[in-house]
Structures are given as structure tokens and as C-alpha cells.
Amino acid sequence: MTMAYKDIIVIDGRKDLLLIAPHGHRKDDENTAELTRQIALRLDCQAIVNFVFRKPRGQERPDRDRHLLNLNKADQAYFHPDFIDALQSSVDTPERTLVIWMHGIKDENIEAEAKRTDSFRGTPALLLVLAGYGQGQSPKTGNPKSRYTADPQTVKRLVSSLTGNGLAAIAVRNDAPSYRGRHEGYMNQWFLQNNYPLSSVESIQLELKYTGVRDHGSMETASERFAKSLIKLI
């Protein structure tokens, strides 16, 4: 670890995988930071983990000194003195880097997605992970074309690996209102906007259910299952 716990934590490790928890504050995507840290330690891979910055709410304005930053929004991520530098140094390597953004989703929201898609045919309560990689229309500009941040085959392999290791997963439907990693102002699109080809960086946004993945009783098993799933892709 290269930074104090009062700030984001940067973990060094193998260069072909980078895990990022941008909303790890307990009032945002609860336990995504700790789960990400556990997976990184299991795989000895790179990670950027945020425990202390939370998303501004209501009339609050971004404020680094008050730890009010949404590190999944590019315009706010630049307010942090080290976040973007840590991101760049992690992927500026000769080899391809797979970047996984670890987000949380409410149980009722992921179960609603399970009901709305044809790609998951099990009981909605069993779906644990959604994968977004820039598919479908832009929610910001209305551009109808997908803007893939990862090769669809990579996502297919990841979804299959997660499901095979006990973390039932699907790719988000193209017309979902959110969760697709398609918004140009959010960090899953940052690499494309900064001219990193998919041969250099593939970026995938995962939405993780609380029950069965992020709750305190599930995290140790979930971290092991994520590690087993991701090692097959790197």
C-alpha cells in the first residue's frame, strides 16, 4: 500500500488486472471497498480502493477536503490529486490490463433487472452480478450506438466464469436505464476517451448485489469466488 488509510488505497501487484472500488464509502456502495481489497490480496493484483470519499448528495458540492467526491464521475475524479495518476500508472504497461470497476446495486434493483431480461431464466433472487461494458444507447447524448469498453467475448467469458464459480451473472440488457457503463461522463468510458485501445485496456463495470455478495457473512466466500473467476481471464 502506498497511501495512508485516510485517503484512497493503492495496492500494487500483477499488471494484467486492476480492480477499482470508487464508491467504497459505507454510505455509498457498502462493502465494495473491503471486498475489492480481499480479492486483490488473493490474486496479488493491482487495486485502487476508496473507503473514505463519499458521493455528494442534495445541495452538497464536490469538496476534496471534506471527502465529498464521486470518484466514478470523471469531472470529480480529477479533483483528487492522485486518483487519475494511480489509474494511468496502473494501465500504462506493455501488457493488456483488464480493469474491473466494483459497484454495488440494491437487491430490489438487480432482481428487477433479472425479471426484465431474457438472458437470466432463474429465480430473480439468485442473480448476483450485472456486467456493463458500454452497450446500447448513450444516456447522456442519445447516441444510439454501443461504445464498447471491452470485447464482448471477454465479457461473455467473465459472465460464464462468475456464474460457474457460484456468482450468477449476466451482461446488462442494451436498453437498461443504467448499469451499462455507457455514460460518457463516468469512469468506465475514461480509457476510450483517452485513446486506450481495447488491445491495451479492457474496462468492465460490475454491479454487485448486497445479499449473497457484499453482506458481512458472504464477503469471504464471494472474494474467493471472484478470485477463481478472474484468474481465468488474465
pLDDT value, residue 6: 77
Q: CA-CA-CA-CA torsion for 35, 230, 19, 34, nearest 10 degrees?
A: 10
Percent of the chain with pLDDT over 70: 98
pLDDT class of 204 with cuts at 50, 70, 90: very high
Asked if residue 165 has pLDDT above 60, the reply is yes
How sure is the predictor about 176, in pLDDT bands with cuts at 50, 70 and 90?
very high
pLDDT of residue 104: 98
Name which residue leads in pLDDT, 104 or 1. 104
Can you list the alpha helix ranges (DSSP code H) found in 44-165?
74-77, 83-91, 107-116, 152-164
pTM of this structure? 0.96
Q: Does the pLDDT of residue 147 top 80, yes or no?
A: yes
pLDDT digits (tens, 9 = 90+) for 42-80: 999 999 999 999 999 999 999 999 999 999 999 999 999
What backbone phi and psi angles, to 5 degrees, belong to 108?
Answer: -65, -30
For residue 5, what pLDDT is reported?
54
Handedness of CA 129, 132, 138, 139 (dihedral sign): positive
